[in-house]
Amino acid sequence: MKIPKCEYVKCDRKASIYVLLNNKQLAFCDEHYRKLISLLTKIALLKNAAELENVKVKREGKKVRFVSKVKVPRKMPRISSRYIGLVREYMGTYTRK
Ligand SMILES: [Zn+2]
């Protein structure tokens, strides 16, 4: 079976995961999957919860880019990995390094 390439803009790596986003099945490499998770984590910290619906897939030619539907500040302190796995009703806090 041919391994698809990551569908994120300017990325040529081999995809390792499929994500169902906006009713489209998209293939991403590890790095861009982590980018999606990190965006969802930021949204979760801001809104108390995050869903894949909070992320819009913007087409750029044959590739895609993630656009958050929630306004995420450009500069956000680094999020500690212990907040990954956020639960609803729990507002995470973050500290500046
Ligand atoms: Zn990629």
pLDDT tens string 21-65: 888 899 999 999 999 988 988 888 888 888 888 999 999 999 999
pLDDT confidence of residue 92: 57
CA–CA distance from 57 to each of 14, 83, 87, 94, 97 (Å)?
Answer: 19, 25, 24, 27, 31
CA of 4 to the centre of ligand 1 (A): 11
CA of 27 to the centre of ligand 1 (A): 9
Query: What separation in Å is there between the alpha carbon of 89 and the centre of ligand 1?
Result: 32
How many domains does the chain fold into? 1
pLDDT at 97: 54
Q: The domain containing residue 52 runs over which residues?
A: 1-97
pLDDT band at 7 (very low <50, low <70, confident <90, very high): very high
